[in-house]
């Protein structure tokens, strides 16, 4: 049987980082085994649905070079791929479970359930539905339905013994059945719960491997009991460790953590994001950090997924992103970085703009960083800090160096980078200055700061008029 995995997000807006990492693992499991990657939309919570979210998901996966084999926008033979379009299917299977004695109608009102919760609080025990509606007679059930009473359908859980979950990452996980609540399968509005819809859809869509966060591991016995009730074979489970923020909490869109599009709009390359995220909780056999998507597909082994939580580190992501930016061809880099340059360049030539952007290619961590880095070329006035003023007065050779630069530059007819490099050599010969005494005085005088790009490039981009004025 062909390997089939599914990515099943809720349509609630941009995709957050933890969700994207799960999608990457699902994609790699499928493609490493020559299988299919399915997109299914879990919209059972209609209150959180965001218009256009399906397109967000498609666009994100496309940017990350993860092609969807089947989904809402490219349906295969297992559709529909949106849960709200499958309500009749869930109803049919929920009612079949009732007929077979694996589920029951529950007519308990909100008030009744609240009373149960208060009683549990008073006893200092966790709330768990007590199963009272499972004892209703067939006649009582028919009468309540006839009277229009609202109901849900609950799964009838065993109260004794154990359930064992076989997981690729965590091995065999044993859970006592008595702690499993009679979970709701079908809500009173006709929508399925997340757990029930997943089981029905995964079976009907031929999903062979289910990859998800390890916070769902404790719920998995309920899934397996449903599979047993239906007489279906359970999929292979791969529960992956959580991604934690620097504060030790799980990354979450609800907590305001960055989404993929937040990072993309900041100037992080999708390939760098994918490369970084796949290494959060997975390690390759070889000591390799940078991967193309094809290399990841070839190398990925789900047995090398860690059990321990991974910590999301923006500095490490920036390191990856810098490597990917550096590896871009010059024309690709210019196309990528130009939208992030917001300074007014209407009076600049294309050659000047491209030169400015290219000198920072090997130093950028992310796209938006370019604006701050190039500030020195757009400031009409410069401010020299007290520390730098002290440096300019720290050695008697410094005024001589500055005067030598001013003289050489004033006599320069052809303003090219090559000629400016020669100017530096001449100043060195004239003054005997070297190291920071040769470079820092002129940097401070022309830009106000002691560091920057290569000095000939910096001089060339600031321009002869401004350089001469500032040296004077």
Q: What is the pLDDT of residues 280-314, one digit of tens each?
A: 999 999 889 999 999 999 999 999 999 999 999 99
User: Is the model's pLDDT at 257 over the cut of 70?
Assistant: no
Partners of 210 in the β-ladder: 237
Residues 221, 160, single domain; the answer is yes
Residues 98, 78, single domain; the answer is no
Domain CATH for 414 = 1.10.10.350
Distance separating alpha carbons of residues 289 and 350, to the nearest angstrom: 36
pTM, two decimal places? 0.91
User: Is the model's pLDDT at 45 over the cut of 80?
Assistant: no
Question: Domain boundary at 223, 240, 257, which?
Answer: 240
Question: Domain boundary at 240, 266, 298, which?
Answer: 240
Instruction: Assess contact for 324 and 269: CB atoms under 8 A.
Output: yes
Domain CATH for 70 = 3.40.50.620
Amino acid 256: pLDDT: 59
Extract the tokens encoding 323: 């490597």
Extract the tokens encoding 336: 């990528």
318 in a structural domain:
no
Amino acid 381: pLDDT: 84
347 in a structural domain:
yes
Residues 143, 280, single domain; the answer is no
Is residue 135 classed exposed, middle or buried when 0-12, 13-18 and 19+ CB atoms within 10 A define those classes?
exposed
For residue range 122-154, what is the model confidence (pLDDT) as tens digits? Answer: 888 888 899 999 999 999 999 999 999 999 999
Residues 28, 68, single domain; the answer is yes
Question: Whole-number mean pLDDT of the chain?
Answer: 92
With cut-offs at 50, 70 and 90, classify the pLDDT of residue 161: very high
Q: What is the mean pLDDT of residues 321-347?
A: 97
Report how far apart, in Å, the C-alpha atoms of 233 and of each of 17, 204, 207, 228, 379 are: 31, 11, 11, 8, 68
Instruction: Assess contact for 26 and 266: CB atoms under 8 A.
Output: no
Instruction: Assess contact for 105 and 136: CB atoms under 8 A.
Output: yes
* 394 Cβ contact list (under 8 Å, min separation 6): none
* 302 Cβ contact list (under 8 Å, min separation 6): 25, 29, 168, 169, 211, 238
Amino acid 132: pLDDT: 93
Residues 289, 180, single domain; the answer is no
Instruction: Assess contact for 105 and 145: CB atoms under 8 A.
Output: yes
Total domain count for the chain?
4
32 in a structural domain:
yes
Residues 253, 383, single domain; the answer is no
Q: Is the dihedral of CA 74, 75, 80, 83 positive or negative?
A: negative
412 in a structural domain:
yes
Task: Kindly provide the b/e burial profile for residues 335-351, where b requires at least 16 CB atoms within 10 angstroms of the residue's own CB.
Answer: ebbeebbeeebeebeee
Amino acid 120: pLDDT: 87
Instruction: Assess contact for 63 and 264: CB atoms under 8 A.
Output: yes
User: Is the model's pLDDT at 315 over the cut of 80?
Assistant: yes
319 in a structural domain:
no
User: Is the model's pLDDT at 47 over the cut of 80?
Assistant: no
Q: Which stretches of 325-442 are assigned E, i.e. beta strand?
A: none
For residue range 339-394, what is the model confidence (pLDDT) as tens digits? Answer: 999 999 999 999 999 999 999 999 999 999 999 999 999 988 888 889 989 888 98
Instruction: Assess contact for 235 and 208: CB atoms under 8 A.
Output: yes
Residues 386, 408, single domain; the answer is yes
Amino acid 196: pLDDT: 96
Residues 255, 191, single domain; the answer is no
Cα angle for residues 210, 211, 216 (degrees, 5° grid)? 95
Which residue is catalytic, options 62, 144, 156, 253?
Answer: 253
Residues 93, 235, single domain; the answer is yes
Residues 56, 199, single domain; the answer is no
Query: CA gyration radius for the chain?
Result: 32
Residues 76, 95, single domain; the answer is no
- Residue 303 domain boundaries: 4-83+243-311
174: annotated active-site residue: no
235 in a structural domain:
yes
Question: Domain boundary at 205, 240, 275, which?
Answer: 240
DSSP string computed for 375-398: GGGT-SS----HHHHHHHTS-THH
317 in a structural domain:
no
For residue range 408-433, what is the model confidence (pLDDT) as tens digits? Answer: 999 898 999 999 999 999 999 999 99
320 in a structural domain:
no
Partners of 164 in the β-ladder: 174
Amino acid 11: pLDDT: 84
Instruction: Assess contact for 415 and 464: CB atoms under 8 A.
Output: yes
Residues 119, 231, single domain; the answer is yes
């Amino acid at each position: 049987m062909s390997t089939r995995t599914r990515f099943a997000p809720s349509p609630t807006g941009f995709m957050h980082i933890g969700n994207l990492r799960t999608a990457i693992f699902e994609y790699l499991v499928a493609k490493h085994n020559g299988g299919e990657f399915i997109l299914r939309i879990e919209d059972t919570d209609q209150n959180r649905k965001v218009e256009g979210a399906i397109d967000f998901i498609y666009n994100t996966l496309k940017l990350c070079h993860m092609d969807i084999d089947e989904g809402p926008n490219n349906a295969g033979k297992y559709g529909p791929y949106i849960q709200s379009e499958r309500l009749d299917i869930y109803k049919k299977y929920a009612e079949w479970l009732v007929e077979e004695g694996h589920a029951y109608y529950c007519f308990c009102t909100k008030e009744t359930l609240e009373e149960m919760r208060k009683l549990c609080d008073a006893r200092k025990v966790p709330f768990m539905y007590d199963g009272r509606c499972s004892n209703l007679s067939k006649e009582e059930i028919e009468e309540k339905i006839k009277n229009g009473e609202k109901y849900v359908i609950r799964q009838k859980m065993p109260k004794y013994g154990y359930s064992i979950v076989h997981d690729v990452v965590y091995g065999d996980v044993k859970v006592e059945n008595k702690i499993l609540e009679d979970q709701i399968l079908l809500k009173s509005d006709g929508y399925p719960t997340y757990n029930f819809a997943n089981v029905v859809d995964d079976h009907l869509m031929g999903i062979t491997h289910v990859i998800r966060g390890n916070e769902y591991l404790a719920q998995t016995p309920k899934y397996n009991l449903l599979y047993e009730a239906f007489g279906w074979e359970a999929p292979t489970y791969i529960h992956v460790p959580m991604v934690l923020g620097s504060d030790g909490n799980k990354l979450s869109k609800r907590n305001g953590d960055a989404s993929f599009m937040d990072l993309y709009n900041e100037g992080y390359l999708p390939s760098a994001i994918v490369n970084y995220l796949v290494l959060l909780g997975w390690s390759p056999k070889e000591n390799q950090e940078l991967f193309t998507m094809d290399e990841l597909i070839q190398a990925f082994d789900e047995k090398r997924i860690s059990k321990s939580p991974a910590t999301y580190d923006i500095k490490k992501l920036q390191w990856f992103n810098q490597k990917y930016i550096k590896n871009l061809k010059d024309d690709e880099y210019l196309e990528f970085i130009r939208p992030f340059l917001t300074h007014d360049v209407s009076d600049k030539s294309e050659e000047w703009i491209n030169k400015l952007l290219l000198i920072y290619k090997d130093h950028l961590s992310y796209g938006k960083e370019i604006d701050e880095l190039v500030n020195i070329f757009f400031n009409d006035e410069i401010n020299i800090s007290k520390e730098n003023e002290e440096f300019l007065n720290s050695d008697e050779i410094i005024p001589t160096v500055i005067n030598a630069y001013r003289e050489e530059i004033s006599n320069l007819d052809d303003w090219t980078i090559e000629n400016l490099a020669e100017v530096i050599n001449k100043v060195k010969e004239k003054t005997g200055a070297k190291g920071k005494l040769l470079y820092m005085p002129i940097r401070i005088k022309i830009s106000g700061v002691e560091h920057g790009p290569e000095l000939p490039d910096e001089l060339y981009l600031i321009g002869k008029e401004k350089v001469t004025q500032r040296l004077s």
